[in-house]
Chain A
Amino acid sequence: MAKYKTKGLDCWKRAKELRNRYYKDYKESPSRGGLRWEGGAWSFDAIPQALEGEVHGLSEEPYGASIAHNPELQVRYQEAAEGKWGCARDLCSYMRAYWGSVALNEYAYGGPWPHADFIFQNQICCCHSKWLQVADEIDGGTTPYFCFDVGVGPYDKIGDRQIEYVVAQLYDGIAFIERVTGRKIIEEKLIQNVYNTYRSNCYWAKTCELNQAIPAPLDEKTMFSLYVLGSLEKSNQAIADFYEKELYPEVKDRVANKIAAVADERCRVLGDSQPPWGFLRIYRYLEQYGIVSVANLYTFSLIGWMKVDEKGHLVPYPTLEEQGITIKDRDHALRLLVEGELKGKLMWAPFYGANYKNDLVTKIAKQWRCDAAIIHLNRGCEGTAQHQMQLKIALQEMGVPVMTFEGNMADEREFDEGRVLRLIELFVTETLGLKKVA
């Protein structure tokens, strides 16, 4: 008999609907007089989404991940990027998939490549500014391009000077968008988008916090399909509502009623970086041993905002309501937006040193009560694969058994499934001493 009750999420269907609508809207937007823009999961989407009229963005990393989920498509797009454009095959695999899609003039959701009206990107990883520079070049080089810099330091070193630098760029960005589109940014929309951004990011972090419970209400494979909405359009009202009013209450209820993600949970593992998207079945394989992946800095804080409290614990970043803040005007909105991203997006901290990654992830391992760690040495994303070997050492030093395997989130040519499954089996049976659940 299973140890815990389990069931699927009631809001699962809604999450899928929101995601599908996002890609459909992007494709169909021009037929309704809407604008389209390209950016990334970390773009300040609250700004372009505040333009008057209909407007839709295409977020580059989730689009790359969508391609990656289909091995046949990913290889075709990677080979187009390498063959038609001529790039190196060790570059970010999302980026190559994206470039291949542009080079082949194909949209993964059907039809030709949907040209954007402008680009509104950010730069923290070496590839971010380059990604859409090159995509635009492949696409003919006529799309107005704007890229702002958020590489101003880790969360604990953010002060007025850092915030001011980014805000100043956002003002330039607003002027740029208004000029190239001939449309205005509507202040009320901008303010609402900032409220929504806070709700999306903070409620996702609160949801992740609930996974400290035993049994874990969510497994990481499921979480991948949930955080993605925030990486598409965190400023969107429906997405913010989903996080605050549907997902969070449901997961809270699962904790209260001990509804588990994995009915036979008996070993909780920590992950790192993105998984090889075409091979998510490895999580199902782990479940045969009662193993559930419950935590990952990437999965939590790609969009989730968190902070380190006075006791040194990781806790969700407070919403504007919890902070007692009412947004007064455009300037106030921009400052709050930047402050939240710079102070709350802890995933940016490892960009400034291995010590940050070690500190945050060892905190996660303790607070989420992880018994072991399985680290995907992700050859496809240098941003999330930072300091992984140092992290391995730090986790081992705190007594957490660690297994690493090399792979690639979006290039199946760099993932040996059979070998990895054998490694996992050895780790699970020999190191962790687990047997398959009867």
Chain B
Amino acid sequence: MIEEFKQWYDDRHSYAKEWKKNNLDGKVVGYFCTYVPEEILYAANCLPVRIIGGHEPPTLATPHMFDMWCPFSRDCLSQGLAGNYDYLDGIMIAQCCLHARQAFGAWQLQVPTPWSYYVCMPNAVTTSHAKKFLLGELAEFKKAVEAWVGKKITDADLDRGIDIMNTNRHLMKKVYESRKEDNPPLTGTEAMTLVWASQLMDKREHNVLVEELLRDLPNRELDREPGIRLMIVGSENDDRPFMELVESIGATFVIDDHCTGSRYFWDEIATTGDRLQAIADRYCDRVPCPTKDFQQETWERKRFPHILTLAKEYRVQGVILVQQKFCDPHECDIPSLKRYLEGNEIPCYVLEFEVTVPVGQFRIRIEAFIEQLRADELFD
């Protein structure tokens, strides 16, 4: 069954094209950041598809984004320039890091796409003012989508959009819950493959399969010992070869904090009161991306205690902190996060990612980290 999710991830472009064929009134919208309110897109019968890279050197993007911008965002643009997303009816972004915004801005000018939209997602998400501001942004966005698709989005449509997203979040949390076990029934690579697929396919279809998987999980066993329990934290990560590499040398990722992982689905929408306000509240209250992780009064981050809680609940023995090269938000937080986790007796190891990773070097480094953690086990 996991193989199906993997297939969807690998064949994401064919999937979206097929979806269009089967949904003649629907539109496919490529999005650049997980702060995009997918609920409203589902309410308008659109398929939100996260634009991700191809793990190829982003040569096509070079004339449009010079190489101080993060490789992931350049890879995304490169995929657009290569015509791999030629089926998109629209693209959109919610205000996030400058790197994704570069890719979005260049895409608007260089990759013919009929519709584009920028949601001005506030940065000061921990303030009450942000929720009010975002409510206004969402109302404008809803209007723009209505004008584009030529159909009013009703409360019932919004309820449906919220339900689709919340169901997926709820189910994914259940899957992740199973990883707390001594012998997790699925690897970290498999778990994150589920998340990657959820960002690329119709969540209604995804939900059906996750439900099936949840029925099977109690009887599922990995064909190996879990080994060292690791957490992986950091920038965008859909690097399956790296995840598989680490899990092939005596470790299992039991939890993560990535926007391509738990951070994407962790928080649900409280479905009471005004629907748009409920959506706004969720996106302001969610586990923040580092670019929005600041609060008044203190330098302390909201995300750090959340990561620590996850590490404890999932009985993590070590954390791998990954950053996309040039990813300022994570680069700013990583030295602090490393100190914070190590101060709580959780060893950390930092790795810098490009669109392709040096597998041989990383293998040696991770093996050394795992050996160090095993050595610690001897003295526990």
Contact = CB atoms under 8 A, between A and B. Distances in A.
Contacts of A146: 296-297
B106 interface: yes
A130 B288 CA distance: 14
B64 A355 contact: no
B66 A377 contact: yes
B317 interface: no
Contact of A165 (B69, B129, B299, B332): B129
A53 interface: no
Interface magnitude class on chain B: 35 or more
Nearest to B336: A137
B159 to A, nearest CB: 26
Contact of A176 (B68, B297, B301): B297
A144 B296 CA distance: 8
Interface in A208-223: none
Contacts of B65: 389
A387 B299 contact: no
Given A87-B335, A126-B329, A130-B294, A165 B105 contact: no
B352 A151 contact: no
A210 to B, nearest CB: 31
Interface string B84-114: 0000000000010111011011101110000
Nearest to B139: A161
B291 interface: yes
Interface stretch (B117-125, B149-157, B197-205, B224-232): B117-125
A129 interface: yes
Given A165-B133, A168-B129, A134 B105 contact: no
Query: 4 shortest A-B CB distances, which residue pairs?
Result: A354-B105, A149-B124, A130-B332, A129-B294
27 contacts: A87-B332, A87-B335, A88-B323, A123-B294, A124-B123, A126-B328, A127-B332, A130-B294, A134-B299, A137-B336, A143-B299, A145-B299, A146-B296, A147-B296, A152-B122, A152-B133, A153-B120, A161-B136, A162-B133, A165-B132, A176-B297, A353-B101, A353-B104, A354-B102, A382-B68, A388-B66, A389-B64
Given A126-B98, A130-B332, 20 more contacts: A87-B335, A91-B331, A123-B123, A126-B97, A129-B123, A130-B328, A149-B130, A151-B95, A151-B120, A165-B122, A165-B130, A351-B101, A354-B102, A377-B66, A382-B68, A382-B328, A386-B98, A386-B102, A389-B66, A406-B66
Interface of A: 85-88, 90-92, 123-127, 129-134, 136-137, 141, 143-149, 151-153, 161-162, 165, 168-169, 172, 176, 351-355, 358, 377, 379, 382-383, 385-390, 393, 404, 406
